Amino acid sequence: MEKNFMSLKEFTKEIFTRYGFTEEDIQVYLGFLRVPRATISEVHLHIDPDQQTEYAAIEAITKKLVEKGFLKKVDGIIDRYIPLEPFFELFVNESEIFRNEIAKIKDAVLADQSERFDKLEQIQDKSINEVDTAVDTQIKA
């Protein structure tokens, strides 16, 4: 039996990707989830200890996450960021997509079922007519 299950990591990535997040965006967000009340520098060091990613890139991603409601900026001498978990909103959106897909499937199944019943009625009517014709022919013969 073939399994069509995604790992949680793949599912999470798929959902975030659907909301316009790149792999880098996801990594930065996960960095903020791992380091509470972090600065951009702390997350930069945490997710990229070799400093291969530019600070400005992390800063731009952080701004994007704030704008999308995934982080809250806490102003201070050094700004800190608190990760928000907008999973309820994501859940509501995903549930709506799921419900819409189910409705489409239901409509398609009902339309197919109706079409099949119409075909069965045609076959039944044809068979009844053939029997009636055969009986009439036998009676008249």
**Residue 84 to residue 70: CA distance in whole angstroms:** 5
Query: pLDDT-derived band of residue 48, with 50, 70 and 90 as boundaries?
Result: confident
Residue 80 is classified by DSSP as E
Query: What are the residues facing 80 on neighbouring strands?
Result: 74
pTM comes to 0.56
* Residues 6+ away with beta carbon under 8 Å from 68: 19, 20
pLDDT band at 2 (very low <50, low <70, confident <90, very high): very low
Report the chain's C-alpha Rg in angstroms: 30
Token pair 């959106």 is found at 93
Q: Is the pLDDT of residue 88 over 70?
A: no
Q: For the ranges 10-14, 20-24, 27-31, which has the lowest average pLDDT? A: 10-14
**How confident is the model over 25-53, as a mean pLDDT?**
87
**Is it the case that residue 6 has pLDDT exceeding 50?**
no
Into which CATH architecture does domain 8-85 fall?
Orthogonal Bundle (1.10)
What CA–CA distance (Å, rounded) separates 86 from 83?
9
Q: Where are the domains of the chain?
A: 8-85, 86-141
Q: What is the pLDDT of residue 53?
A: 80
Region 58-66 average pLDDT = 94
**Encoding tokens for residue 48?**
């990229």
